[in-house]
Amino acid sequence: MNLRLSRRVQRVSLSANAAAKSRATELREAGRDILDLTTGEPDFDTPEHIKQAAYAAIAAGATKYTPTPGVKALRLAVQRKLQRENRLDYPLAGIVIANGAKQIIFNAFAATLDDGDEVLVPTPYWPSFPDSVRFNGGEPVFIECELDQGCKLSAEQLQQHIGERTRWLILNGPGNPSGAVYSVAELQAIAAVLRRHPQVLILLDELYEHIRFDGQPAHSLLNVAPDLQARCLLVGGVSKTYAMTGWRIGFGAGPQVLTAAMAVVQSQSTSGASSVVQAAALAAFDGGLDFLPEQLAAYHRRRDLLVNALRDIDGLEVLEPQGGFFVFVRCAGLLGRYRPDGVRLNNDADVVAYLLDEGVAAVAGSAYGLSPWFRLSIATATGSVAEAGRRIAHACRQLRGAA
């Protein structure tokens, strides 16, 4: 059979996060003692009132097709959420619902990118950013943001990388995988650069907006630079805050010409999101955040446990996350050392493979555009996080220096 795949699909790859998760699951099913710290999936259950709303929707017969931009009641709930939690006002026509935030991002690029258009992607990045750009004909332009700058984009770097073909800038905060949170001053400096380049659109991925460890309310570029709202697409959803990863609801809030075009794209792929899930999401946005402090406290404890376990290990440098579900670790100091079986660690993939053999599943930093690093999730049981720290420390102690 001579099946020819498109050049488009050959430009992208399977998610490294999904591949790492799959491998960890295979080993656990084979009887191996593996602590899975690969994915950002809360170990908490979806709050009961949200599940009850889904049951009620089914019982009421709300099981039909939905409008492609989303059910009006849910879009109104998102509008209220943005006013209440983010201090932002959007007309209803500027809000669109999709099957997860990933689809919102994909639709935005499909609606705006022509072949060769460039999208600025600070590294480390969530892997779907560059692949969504590539799939839609664009070219990701990577801006390396290293440990000494907290893995955050500087205004100077932004200015240096904007060119004639720059179409978008992606800003992700709190960051995945870094956990970095931009300060008001840093956002103001970035906004000052963007004002000089009115052709650049801004994608604000704020899925982890409420998972912060500094006790401060969520803030974004739009709170410090409201004049940029006509050029921004704000991306949110229910997966992280409400522990609803499998429900698949995301939203985009932006200029109406963009959200209308995104709805056109979606109408030719999946059409409207599930009616039952939209009813559940409505209950989530309107039901308050009383459940969140307990979960935040657990994430905070886990972060501290893991950071404290890793920060004094010879060969590792830990970026203490300010939010999100991950601890990002630089492992340059381990390269060139030898495992107990004599195998040399040459890169972060080797380090992650070694940790997996020692019972901890992580994801190599190369998946996020920054090596040599690895990412560990704290969205799992506190005992597992603590034990992972112990296993990593033990594994590093077993390494021999370069011969």
CATH of the domain at 244: 3.40.640.10
Q: With bands split at pLDDT 50, 70 and 90, how would you rate the model's confidence at 145? A: very high
Three-state SS for 287?
Answer: coil
Of 26-30, 190-194, 383-387, which gets the smallest average pLDDT? 26-30
- Helical axes 382-397 vs 292-310, angle rounded to 10°: 10
Residues 265 and 382 in one domain: no
Read off the amino acid at residue 89: D
**Dihedral angle computed from the Cα positions of residues 295, 307, 171 and 130, in that order, rounded to the nearest 10 degrees:** -110
314-330: average pLDDT: 97
Please say whether the beta carbons of 211 and 323 come within 8 A: yes
Residue 137 lies inside a defined structural domain of this protein: yes
| Span 13-55, pLDDT tens digits | 877 777 778 888 888 888 889 999 998 899 999 999 999 999 9
Comparison of pLDDT for 394 and 14, the residue scoring more: 394
Does 75 share its domain with 184?
A: yes
398: left (phi over 0), alpha (psi -120 to 50) or beta: alpha
Specify whether 298 is located in the same domain as 170. Answer: no
Copy the structure tokens of residue 69: 């931009």
3-class DSSP state of 250: strand
For residue 362, name the pLDDT band (cuts at 50, 70, 90): very high
Indicate the pLDDT class of residue 402, thresholds 50, 70 and 90: low
**Helix, strand, coil abundance in the chain, percent, nearest 5:** 45, 15, 40
Structurally, the chain folds into a number of domains equal to 2
Structure-token pair, residue 85: 């939690």
Same structural domain, 133 and 166 = yes
**What is the domain range of residue 324?**
7-45+291-397
Q: Where are the beta strands (DSSP E) in 95-138?
A: 95-98, 118-123
Residue 267's pLDDT is what? 97
Count Cβ atoms below 10 Å from residue 184 Cβ, excluding itself: 11
Q: Is residue 67 part of a domain?
A: yes
pLDDT value, residue 21: 80
Q: Are 221 and 243 contained in the same domain?
A: yes
Q: What is the pLDDT of residue 403?
A: 47
Same domain assignment for residues 336 and 315: yes
Among the candidates 269, 286, 303, a domain finishes at 286
Model's pTM, two decimal places? Answer: 0.95
Span 193-222, average pLDDT: 94
**Between 13 and 170, residue with greater pLDDT:** 170
Residue 1 falls within a domain, yes or no? no
Region 162-177 average pLDDT:
97
Residue owning tokens 């950013």 = 129
Per residue in 218-248, is it b (16+ CB within 10 Å) or e — as a string?
bbbbbebbeebbebbbbbbbbbbbbbbbebb
Residue 257, pLDDT > 60, answer yes
What is the residue whose two structure tokens read 């073909």?
165
